[in-house]
Structure 1
Amino acid sequence: MIRVEVVLAWADRVNARVLELPEPSTVAEAVAAAALPGSEQCVAYAVHGVVAPPQQALQEGDRVELLRPLLADPKDNRRRRARGG
């Protein structure tokens, strides 16, 4: 068994679950087992901040982060701030 954490962060809250999964388990299996509300809106995953494919095998202590789509383009936001708007 391995112990992993699955996390989904929103602007005002964080949903997280610590799971014990059989070895070997994948990112997709951990996400499915966590069943966090809102996870269906996620477009990608990361393990310790590095983008990971769903079939990536997990190791003891891994933190799986569910990544939501961007609401605004960061470059556009910087340009808007630079223009003073």
Structure 2
Amino acid sequence: MALMITDDCINCDVCEPECPNDAISMGLEIYEIDPNKCTECVGHFEEPQCQLLCPVACIPFNPAWRESEDELRAKYERLEAAKAA
């Protein structure tokens, strides 16, 4: 499943540059994660980098966006193919 950023976000700017899929961007008030781009870092890292670095632990899994490991891997492959095109 994709990740999400909660209202506890303090806009510290740590997560955005660490996302290998450019899934994190500034929203109206706090950072947001585009679930269409979030692979939980599958294909890049063993763990989601944004979760590891977040100083306030405000990046849980998004229960509304459930995906299997295979689905995340397929999304990663699609995103990489689009970058290469």
Do they superpose with TM above 0.5? no
Higher RCO (CA-CA < 8 Å; seq separation 6+) = 2
| Structure in which a larger fraction of residues adopt helix | 2
| Structure in which a larger fraction of residues adopt strand | 1
TM-score range, shorter chain: under 0.3
Q: State the structure with more CA Rg.
A: 1
Please report the TM-score for the alignment, with normalisation by the length of structure 1: 0.26
